[in-house]
């Protein structure tokens, strides 16, 4: 039975660090689209088990929220 590819294998093939692969997989910090695409392509190439998850997260659009405040007591200085 063949050994499953690891995150280290994915980092080596995609030419980035293990930390960068972790950021792409877990959406931790902003990663350039080009880098994320390289990681995804490498994951597909080596058969990494979470390749579908990477693709899904790359296409996922995060909702945008807006928050506003309305202060009604204008005479209160505190």
**Tens of pLDDT, residues 17-75:** 999 998 888 877 788 989 988 988 898 889 887 766 666 666 666 667 788 877 777 67
Q: Report the C-alpha gap between 4 and 48 in whole angstroms.
A: 7
Tokens at 41, concatenated: 């392509």
pLDDT at 19: 94
Closest CA to 20 of 2, 40, 50: 40
Q: What separation in angstroms does the CA of 30 have from each of 23, 47, 51, 76?
A: 8, 25, 19, 42
Number of H helices, E strands in the chain: 4, 0
Cut 0.85: pTM above it: no
């Amino acid at each position: 039975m063949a050994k499953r590819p690891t995150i280290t294998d994915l980092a080596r093939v995609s030419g980035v660090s293990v930390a960068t692969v972790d950021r792409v997989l877990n959406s931790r910090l902003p990663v350039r689209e080009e880098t994320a695409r390289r990681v995804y392509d490498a994951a597909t190439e080596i058969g990494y088990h979470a390749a579908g998850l990477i693709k899904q997260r790359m296409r996922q659009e995060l909702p945008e929220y807006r928050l506003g405040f309305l202060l009604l007591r204008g005479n209160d200085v505190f």
